[in-house]
Structure formats: structure tokens, C-alpha cells
Amino acid sequence: MGSTWGNHIKISIFGESHGNGIGVVMDGFPAGHCCDMEFIRSELARRAPGQSSLTTGRREGDQPEILSGMLTDPASGELTTTGAPICIVIRNTDTRSGDYENLRTVPRPSHSDFTGQLRYQGYNDIRGGGHFSGRLTAPMVFAGALCKDYLRKKYEIEIGSHIYQIGEVKDSTFDLTSISDTQLKELQKAAFPVLDPESEGKMKEIVDHARRELDSVGGVIECAATGVAAGIGSPMFSNVESRIASILYGVPAVKGVEFGLGFEMAEKRGSEVNDCYVKNGNNIETRTNYNGGIAGGITTGMPIVVRAAIKPTPSISRGQTTLNLKTGQEELLEIHGRHDPCIAMRAPVVIESAVALAMLDLCLEAWGYAPV
Ligand SMILES: Cc1cc2nc3c(=O)[nH]c(=O)nc-3n(C[C@H](O)[C@H](O)[C@H](O)COP(=O)(O)O)c2cc1C
Ligand SMILES: C=C(O[C@@H]1CC(C(=O)O)=C[C@@H](OP(=O)(O)O)[C@H]1O)C(=O)O
């Protein structure tokens, strides 16, 4: 099903939103890493459904059950990776599959109901979106949190993000040259991560307004990685942008990815956006960072900055037309399940996790499996 990703660490995500459970098998994760399970649980909690009236009402504990690849180390007493494939399962406990009974016949616009049936000859589990559901990002967050923990301890790489945009309301952008690991850690801890405190109220109002109008709204997450050494990556198809983008596009509802100044580059002149090299002590840096820490597909040593655009939730209660696949007639569809009015509200930790997986894959490619 295309649910396997990675070269040096490989993740394979399994399960369906309304099946027994979801999970991930992670192959190639370095041995001897002492896992901060408290951190991993807190990352899962950041993403979990049912957090407020502005998210889906489904309630899941999202507790990971570890099946393999981690053991309590007798010397330290800590849960430590063994080098064998790591497998975890998260049980589904709060499903309401009746909400989905009619969707084989009257597919939701912009969700996977129609395309999934075509691709899998109608054998796909359509309940809750099945394997296409945003719920499958829970195991991605488990894997990403483990990578974040490793990247922090081993390479001093920190990854954090903020909600840059919801609807037409924009937060400030990261200062591309001076993002600090402390700033990223603080964003990770925030219940609603924004740079300008005034954005929070305005963004929540936009989401609530859409919800009250039985509608949904899109957004953009801006994510940064600090402490990434220069010289990681390759040209062309294995470049850093394509590796990060390939996993970001694996997150359901992500419709656009840009690096540094991104699409805004198109309206600039070279003299305005070339990142000129400068010496800072013994380090070579760039004075500006419009390229978002990447040149020629290889890291420059400046912070990596990437934005992911997330579409408005497809399942809305407001009436919309769709085709009845039995009658061939257009008909009105009103969706009355439990849905996020704005996916971007829960997406920051998902985007960070995807970037962390890409960064660990790239670091292992560059430096191999040196002991912790
Ligand atoms: C964290 C998260 C939560 C989501 N919540 C919903 C939801 O409540 N309702 C919905 O229709 N889609 C939701 N989605 C998006 C759908 O899963 C997605 O739009 C669908 O699978 C089709 O994929 P595509 O948008 O990439 O084409 C969510 C996605 C994520 C990442
Ligand atoms: C369960 C989660 O989000 C779900 C993602 C989702 C979708 O279509 O993507 C639809 C909804 O599913 P359900 O109808 O079962 O409540 C969301 O609640 C989760 O993120 O853990």
C-alpha cells in the first residue's frame, strides 16, 4: 500500500482507523539508544484527538504498546533500543463506524472514499477513512519522537514548529537566520504554538467560526531544524528537499511544501535573495538564509526551514453535492461524524515528526551507525 518509507531507517505504518489498532515497524534504528518514553508520550498527547471543542470529538488514549526492539537495559534500568526492528501498536478504542456506512455509495468530496474504492476494487476498509485516515499519523509521531530524542542527544539537532497560518490569519515567520534550539523547545511545549501571542485568539476564532458554519479551514505549519551540520545530502533525486518533502506528502491533507522563502523566491532578484557566505569564528555561515538551510540539495549548516500547507478538512457538515455511485445522480451530502474543523491545529507535531524521520535518515546516510 505504499506505507513504507525511508532508506537508512525504514518505517512501515499499518492499521486502519476503525480496526483493532494502528502501529509502526521501524527498521534500522540505532542500537543502544536510551528512550525518553515520557517525551514520546507527551508528543503523542500533542497530536491525540479529542483535545478541545475545536478538534474532533473522538477520544483516544494513544498509549503505545511496545512489541519489539526495546528492552530495559540491566545496567541503566532504562528502556533501550536493541537494534532489532521496533514494533509498536496503538489500540483503537473510540470508533463510531456507523458514521461511514453510506460513503461507499455517496463518496465524500476530497477524501479517499472514491479513489480508495477504485484502487482496491472496493475491498478497502472505508470506516473512518481506513488506512487513509489522519489517525495513521499517531504511529508516525511515535517514530518521529524517537528520532527527535536521538537527534537531540546524539547530534544536538532540535526540531520545532508553529502554526504559521489558519485561513487568512498569519503568525510571524521564523527569523530564518537566528532560530534557537530553546525557541524550538518552547514551541514544542506550547498547547497552541505561535510566535506572536496575538495570533492564537485570532486563529481560534477563525476555526470556531468555520465550525459554527458547519465548515472547515486550512492552514500552514512552519517547521525548523537547528544544529544540522553542513554537508549532509546529495544532488538531484536524493537532495534534502526531496527527502523531507517525500515524507511530508505522506501526511494526509498536506498539499504544498516550500523551503526557506519558498514560492516568494519567484518574485525576487538574485541580488535580493542570494545567501552570501561569511566567517563566524571558525565557522562558515551565510549572512541570510533565504534557501532554508539547503543549497545544491545539501545542508549549509544554517537552520532548515520548511512550510507545509494543509487543506481544509474534507468532511464538513455543510451540505455539498456528490455523486451517488449507484444511481449516477448528483445528491446532497451532509456529513455528521466527528471531524476536525481545522487539521492544522493538531498538525505541528506531525510535521515535526516527519522532518525528524527525514533528518535521521539523512544523518545515518552521512555518518553511519557510530555508537551513542
Ligand atoms: C491529524 C489529522 C487529522 C485529520 N482529521 C480529519 C478529519 O477529522 N476529517 C477528515 O475528513 N479528514 C481529516 N484529515 C484529513 C484526511 O485524512 C485526508 O484529507 C484524506 O485522507 C485524503 O487525503 P488527502 O487530503 O491527502 O488527499 C486529517 C488529517 C490529519 C493529518
Ligand atoms: C482519530 C483521529 O482522527 C480522525 C481522522 C479522520 C480522517 O478522516 O483523517 C477522521 C476522524 O475519524 P473518526 O470519524 O473515526 O472520528 C478523526 O477523528 C486521530 O487523529 O487519531
For the purposes of burial, counting CB atoms within 10 Å of the CB of 15, is it exposed (0-12), middle (13-18) or buried (19 or more)? buried
Say if residues 308 and 81 touch (Cβ distance below 8 Å).
no
Q: How confident is the model at residue 369 (pLDDT cuts 50, 70, 90)?
A: confident
Mutation probe of ligand 2 site: the residue of 51, 52, 58 with most atoms within 8 A of C-beta: 58
Read off the pLDDT of each residue in 349-365 and give the average, rounded to a whole number. 98
| Tens digit of each residue's pLDDT (9 = 90 or more) over 77-132 | 899 999 999 999 999 999 999 999 999 999 999 999 999 999 999 999 999 999 99
* 138 Cβ contact partners less than 8 Å away, ≥ 6 residues apart: 22, 44, 47, 48, 60, 62, 90
Cβ of 252 less than 6 Å from ligand 1: yes
Cell representation of residue 169: 490569519
Nearest ligand to the C-alpha atom of residue 116: 1
* 342 Cβ contact partners less than 8 Å away, ≥ 6 residues apart: 54, 166, 206, 207, 210, 216, 217, 218, 219, 312, 313
Domain parsing of the chain, residue ranges? 4-367
Q: Which of 343, 311, 351 is nearest to 140 (CA)?
A: 351
Cβ of 343 less than 6 Å from ligand 1: yes
First vs last Cα of the chain: how many Å apart?
34
Fold of 4-367: Chorismate synthase, AroC fold (3.60.150)
| Tens digit of each residue's pLDDT (9 = 90 or more) over 257-300 | 999 999 999 999 999 999 999 999 999 999 999 999 999 999 99
Say if residues 244 and 368 touch (Cβ distance below 8 Å).
no
| Residue 26, phi then psi, degrees to nearest 5 | -120, 115
**Atom of ligand 1 at shortest range from CA of 56:** 8
Nearest CA to ligand 1 atom 14: 134
